[in-house]
Amino acid sequence: MGLHHCHQYASIDAISLLDLPSADASSGNKECRRSLAIVIPPQPRSKHRSSHTPTCTMSMQHGVLCALTAFTMWGFFPIYWKQLPDVPDMQVAVHRVLWSGLILLASVLLTCQWRAYAAVAFTKRNIVIYGIAIVLLTGNFFIYVFATNSNRIIELSLGYFINPMVNAVLGRVFLKESLSKWQWIALGIALVGVLIPTIAYGKFPYLAITLATTSGLYNLAKKMAPLDSFHGLTLETSLMLVPAAIYLVCVDAQGSGAFGHVDTKTNLLLVGTGMITILPLILFAKAAPAIPMTLMGILQYVCPTIQFFIGIFLYDEPFTTTKLVGFIVIWIALVVFTTDSVLTYRRSLLVTVTDDDDRAQMPTLKCISNDVIATAAFASVGQEYGNIHFGDGRFNWAVGRFMALLY
């Protein structure tokens, strides 16, 4: 999966995602309560509309484009892994970690960041935390590739659909985070959706549950991680470089190694696993500061939706009526869970607007949490988001209307 994703117990952190990062809208609520909130009051009305409007790292349009591109890439990953039928699944997962680590280390060296990186990275606490994280990440990679090559892409998509709710459960167990009544109801509905095909076929979807759990545990480990996203992923993949190299040398010595013994296309695809792992994370990192966490939490479902249709229509995986009923029940649970998360997040960021002649002027609230600045503009009753200026251009009308529904 690669990995996955604002998480239930982490602010939006692109590198902390597994392939399909799980950007849970409710996490915004948790983090923003512990964050610094800066409210920029309305400015006096002038005769001419000011060109100085709220800005962010990039415009909303560009942020949505980057996020959609990242989630779309994660969604199409099964097609990439299907091109490596002659490579054992574990070797694919190890190559992915190996080449990602080499690319990230090269980036640190080429940008002259090594001294600053080494000064903060190599502590005992960091090595323990990121060591645990990379083990979970590698396991997640393996499960993702195994599910793809075992023709269980539909079950893979199920893991990513339920990932936000698994995050919520892990947050409740390990971090004692509270869940609302409707979130508990959503979890109960999702459990019913999982049990329907289990009872009908006597087969538990262990791949989906394991995938979602390893992703959630990885996010939990990253919650305790002190480094920024880039340096954090660089350290964790670096810790696996030597074990990965030893593993590949050993399997090669046993005559079962693939790299260098297959066709040129397969060798290049193995090397390319590093770049396709990093590229969507870069796009997500660019998008995160420009998109409210609630919107990111909804966009994340693009990935499993693509996987779902790929499994059914591209690879003709069996999809019975019973499985469809199970998925529909889980989708209902997701609607309940996501709606409650959005409403909770909205209430947590609500800014009271003074009822005066200038109520049409919108204050901007910047919620600063770790690596991300989520900028949300709030209008008084009746203000249309389709008319908001953001960054260097107007909101796309559809995006503006959608944001009006969220806020």
* The three-state (H, E, C) secondary structure of 23-36, written as one string: CCHHHHHHHHHCCE
Gyration radius of the chain over CA positions:
22
Q: Which of 100, 81, 18 is nearest to 304 (CA)?
A: 18
The full set of domain ranges for the chain reads: 14-44+53-406
Of 201-210, 265-274, 326-335, give the lowest mean pLDDT range. 201-210
Under the banding of pLDDT at 50, 70 and 90, the label for residue 350 is: low
Calpha distance 252→248 (Å, rounded) = 6
Instruction: Estimate to the nearest angstrom the gap between the alpha carbon of 339 and the chain centroid.
Output: 18
- Give the SS3 label for residue 8: coil
Interior angle at CA 278, CA 276 and CA 221, nearest 5: 125
364 three-state secondary structure: strand
State phi, psi for 390 to the nearest 5 degrees.
Answer: -140, 120
Per residue in 104-123, pLDDT tens?
999 999 988 898 888 888 89
CA distance 395 to 288: 17
**In the structure encoding, which two tokens stand for residue 177, read together?**
């985070």
Q: Name the residue with tokens 């962010």.
A: 56
Other beta carbons within 10 Å of 344: 19
Tens digit of each residue's pLDDT (9 = 90 or more) over 200-250: 777 888 999 999 999 889 888 888 888 887 888 899 999 999 999 999 999
Q: Region 299-317: what's the mean pLDDT?
A: 94
- Checking if the pLDDT of 193 tops 50, the result is yes
Q: What whole-number distance in Å separates Cα of residue 399 and Cα of residue 407?
A: 12
Q: What is the pLDDT of residue 93?
A: 94
Predicted TM-score of the model (pTM) = 0.71
* DSSP letter, residue 390: E
pLDDT at 24 over 80: no
